[in-house]
Chains A and B, each alone.
Chain A
Amino acid sequence: MIELEGLTKRYGAKLAVDRLTFTVRPGIVTGFLGPNGAGKSTTMRMMIGLDRPTAGDVRIDGRHYADLRDPLTYIGALLEAKAVHGGRSAYNHLLCLAQSNGIPRSRVHEVLETVGLTSVAKKRAKGFSMGMGQRLGIAAALLGDPRILMFDEPVNGLDPEGIHWIRNLMKRLAAEGRTVFVSSHLMSEMALTADHLVVIGQGRLLADTSMPEFIAQNSRSYVRLRAPEQERLRDLLDGAGITKVTAAKDGSLEAEGTDAARLGELAAEHGLVLHELSPQQASLEDAFMQLTAESVEYHAHSGGAAGAVDGHVLAEPPVAGVTAAGATTAGQPAAPAAEWGAGWREQQSGGRKSRKGS
């Protein structure tokens, strides 16, 4: 179990992590979600004592990280940034970590086998591909057979096979009753692996909820209706007891709590012309975008400093995308969503490139 209490990190004027309070519970995969730069890595670094919190507290099984005896046997961490001396072999890298925590040499062989690096154990880490480097990092995390595992963006830059492998590993570790805490900036990744979700933006806690709950709350399904006689359509819906109707910015109506068939029949009954009748499902990615867009908005106006939130000035460039995100409806990838995907693709191809290069 990891408990954060008002955890705060300030770099000069910038508040990287802002009073985070949540608990990572054992036996499940907890996803730690937020856009790049939201403070995920900083939070994880504070959890294992690499960075000192400006304020607040984080405890591992009730104790501070520095007070853990043989910390690798409590918590294993895969950090985003490389943490290996390239001139040292994979075996010696793991051996020196094992020795410092009284972990037997045989365990080094075991974890090398687990991550599939036995054949290159004596090779220098310098020559490792992105995927092999990631596996070495995971081997180090597993070294002490810890009850808690922490992975910072573990699938970044990996090929599909590597991604698949990591997903299964995390599920297996959680199934063994371990605490798994994994960060990502991809909602789709979290939806596949996480049972519980912690969302942050600009260092602030935005959501702390179970995955099914998050899906239920955020994947809104509705029917989009467009009619030349919009007022009449509205009255018709009202009359039929369909009250959850919102007018979208493009002039269509969005009706919730009913299905397209019933609405079509209703319109036909009253001889109303429909130009559009389409069932819609807002994706989790959209829900996440909207959730974090607010924090981006907040950041854009107040420069990251604590201050009043002004959500209405939307003219500045960084905020333009947020307006679009607010108006996003399902099936139409709005501008920020496209950017999001583009960033993801870029990283993916970057990862492949580095694999080829090595």
Chain B
Amino acid sequence: MTATRVLQSEWTKIRSVQSTIWTLALAVVVTLALGALISIVTRNTFDDMPTQDRLFFDPTFVSFAGMGLGQLAMIVFGVLVVSNEYSTGMIRSSLAAVPRRGTFLFSKIAVAALLALVIGMITSFGAFFLGQALLGEHRASIGDQGVLRAVFGGGLYMALIAVFSMGIAAMLRSPMLSLGILMPFFFIISNILGNVDATRKVGQYLPDQAGSKVMQVITRPDNSAPYGPWGGLAIMAAWVVAALIGGYLVIKNRDA
């Protein structure tokens, strides 16, 4: 009963600040727009692509091309939801009202995660259908083998990346510090580690590298990942759990 009250309170908090609206709107718009653009370009240049690429063409994954950028808005959403409490001083009011810190943190994360999941699903399904419509004759159907899993997985991926960011923000508290670490990490460092041969063995276990596997329908022959789509998502989930445990320990033990 008390938990329900705290969830309700956190919902009021999340819906009453503008950063929620613009970060989530940005996530949807960026992912859809970039996915659409790349789908159009792909359709127009399809015949010029190398045979290998045409043979293992993955129309579902192409329509998700905007997620790499769109996820950054999800990261900002996740970071701000938690760290705004600290940067504004609201945390003192919040913890005076809900002194059980685990209840406070996990209620907040539960509400934000649910919202991120809904927006993630909208983004994923939206990007898929828009992308397929623009891919013309190269399109995939939602009924094709593995496609529904990939689209559904795309929504989960977006939610998990947001929750991961919430855990990191709970550990670091500062929005600038959290964003300063997460943004370059997911936008640049992870991509380098995951695509350079020398570091791929390690890079493929990073949360976004492992998690994005679920969005692929066609497995390319050069794929070396030792896990399947759900295995990859499980690796990502493990990262999220670790971040949440870290965040919990920090909020539990440090002075507000």
Residues of A within 8 A of B (CB): 45, 48-52, 65-66, 68-69, 71-72, 77, 79, 81-89, 92-93, 95-97, 99-102, 140
Contact = CB atoms under 8 A, between A and B. Distances in A.
Interface stretch (B11-19, B133-141, B180-188, B189-197): B11-19
Contacts of A50: 92, 95-96, 255-256
A93 B93 CA distance: 9
B13 A71 contact: no
Nearest to B14: A96
Contacts of A66: 99-100
A87 B98 CA distance: 21
B42 interface: no
Interface string B78-116: 000000110011111111111110000000000000000
Interface in B1-43: 2, 5-6, 8-10, 12-13, 16-19
Contacts of B84: 85
Contacts of B2: 69
Given A51-B256, A66-B100, A100-B9, A140 B95 contact: no
B24 to A, nearest CB: 15
16 contacts: A49-B95, A50-B95, A50-B96, A51-B255, A66-B100, A68-B99, A72-B97, A83-B91, A83-B92, A84-B88, A85-B90, A87-B17, A87-B88, A88-B17, A100-B5, A140-B93
Interface centre among A51, A84, A96 (most CB of B within 10 A): A96
Interface of A is mostly: loop
B93 A97 contact: yes
B1 to A, nearest CB: 8
Contact of B97 (A79, A81, A97): A97
B97 A71 contact: yes
A71 B99 contact: yes
B99 A85 contact: no
Interface centre among B2, B93, B255 (most CB of A within 10 A): B93
B251 to A, nearest CB: 12
Contact of A83 (B6, B9, B16, B89): B89
- 8 closest pairs, A vs B, by CB? A100-B9, A92-B16, A83-B92, A99-B9, A96-B12, A51-B255, A83-B93, A66-B99
Contacts of B13: 85, 88, 92, 96
Nearest to A72: B97
A87 B19 contact: yes
Contacts of A81: 89, 92
A89 B12 CA distance: 11
Nearest to B96: A48
B6 A100 contact: yes
Contacts of A87: 17-19, 88
